[in-house]
A and B are shown apart, each in its own frame.
Chain A
């Protein structure tokens, strides 16, 4: 156990050094969320005030937090794919270390990064006038919901890192999923106002449940029912993805 912790810690430290020294990758993931928050938030503020009866930026912020968590988690496997491509992973595996430490360290690093990015987006939202109904406790809860969404997505991404043979395909998948799936959720408009086919997809999209719970935390207050639904869906989603991920990755790392 002591060995496992030391191995995981060493690899986690490496990923944290990357995070600190590679600020552009952070900026890359934050680009879409920031554009949406600043421009879409401002552009639709007037129209939305009439139909939603409130501040559109506050309405939008949960969707943007979900997009941030989704995008960062979905990209989380890329460094492992790079390690596979350039032989570093082989080298790492020639050391007598636990294979699980390779995955766990990356998993932890991705979620620390998700948390930091979500915090940045929250601060930006607050700077643009968003008020969080549940206060400081709500800020922590919002970060928690982002992580719950991120766990399952990170598991998918780590799986993909072992399925894809080059990072070009991986980037394509991220581009083709994160923004479309955000639109196919309750991120920008209420579920009821979506056309039926979009609503059908939104209902099986885990982002919808994260967004609904976050929206309650920002707009109205502690809503046990929204939180319970979110917990049930996301915990089940995470459990399935983590189980699937450990099987797929286990086959590759043997």
Chain B
């Protein structure tokens, strides 16, 4: 293979997965998933722990072999042309993999050599990568002495040196504090702007919502829904009205139950769930729902303490398609 040559067959999506299956013993990790990721877009694989995200990304990185189905990176089949496919990816694993004994600069030199960057561009690329993740001035510090967030940024920088057309990020903000998390998000958005196809696994709803142009929701090895975040939420066609009833303690629960019964007659109400003194009403998506609910409560003589109207989040989308709450699964995993 020519040194440091990454040929991308344009026109085709940069990541193409078709009918991918993988089992570990009796456990089916991936049960026939298909998806595509495009240049200049962030594709998110969202799901609870154990849903099959890491398995997917490891197959994309050529680290484990699929049982069946095909996987192409930049037009190269990962099992038939593993070296060409690997050259086209930058993989940043879930774990922080920096070497505590090496300085930030030595990490970049290390990866520059592994990817055979020509000497003529090496210095520029290393400076660019350091600048992108805000590590300029910390090059000479050993990774041991860097904060957790800075280590993660260094990890990210190491995956970008060879300017891969496809960047695989497995849980990029796992365990990071809020500030670093936002920094990492900004770096990811910058990479997207530069034209990379970013394939991101996450079990954070907000991360998927904030970053992704397209999301596939994965549950127990199957893609249960796929589309742009807004589209997925819009497809549910139901907004949420949360009503908190007022009154003294032992009356509140009764009032909430009474309100639930009263609302059942409204045509715009799809479903209501009672959570103690709070009633979560799923309504067909239009603002007329709010006055109707207020009016119904008033007519039934139920005192209302507060009422909030919200659009569904991705957790509602997950609940809808997977048939259970996202957090239940995440906690039991």
Binding site for B on A (CB under 8 A): 2-3, 6-7, 9-11, 13-14, 17-18, 21-22, 86-88, 90-97, 254
Give Cα A10 to B113, complex, Å: 6
Number of A-B contacts (CB under 8 A): 70
Q: 6 A-B contacts, Cβ less than 8 Å apart?
A: A2-B3, A11-B110, A14-B106, A18-B101, A91-B91, A96-B115
- Interface contact B61-A88, CB-CB below 8 Å: no
Chain A proximity mask over B98-136: 1 for CB below 8 Å, otherwise 0: 010110001001110111100000000000000000000
B interface bracket (residues with beta carbon within 8 Å of A): 20 to 34
- Interface contact B86-A86, CB-CB below 8 Å: no
Give Cα A91 to B106, complex, Å: 16
Give Cα A172 to B94, complex, Å: 30
- Interface contact A7-B91, CB-CB below 8 Å: no
Which one of A6, A22, A90, A93 lies within 8 Å of B116 (CB-CB)? A6
Binding site for A on B (CB under 8 A): 1, 3, 58, 61-63, 65, 82-84, 86-87, 89, 91-97, 99, 101-102, 106, 109-111, 113-116, 142, 168
- Interface contact B115-A87, CB-CB below 8 Å: no
The residue in A9, A11, A14, A94 that gathers the most chain B C-beta atoms within 10 A of its C-beta is A94
User: Chain A residues near B62 (CB, 8 Å)?
Assistant: 93-94
Given A6-B116, A14-B102, A90-B63, the answer on whether A96 and B110 have CB atoms closer than 8 Å is no
Interface SS majority for chain A = helix
User: Chain A residues near B95 (CB, 8 Å)?
Assistant: 86-87
User: Chain A residues near B84 (CB, 8 Å)?
Assistant: 96
How far in angstroms is the closest Cβ of chain A from B48? 21
Give Cα A151 to B84, complex, Å: 34
Which one of B86, B92, B168 lies within 8 Å of A96 (CB-CB)? B86
Nearest chain B residue, comparing its CB with the CB of A3: B116
User: Chain A residues near B89 (CB, 8 Å)?
Assistant: 94
User: Chain A residues near B114 (CB, 8 Å)?
Assistant: 6-7, 10-11, 92, 95, 97
Which one of B86, B93, B110, B142 lies within 8 Å of A10 (CB-CB)? B110
Give Cα A19 to B21, complex, Å: 43
Sample of 6 further A-B pairs with CB below 8 A, known A14-B110, A86-B96, A93-B62 = A6-B114, A10-B110, A14-B106, A17-B102, A90-B61, A96-B115
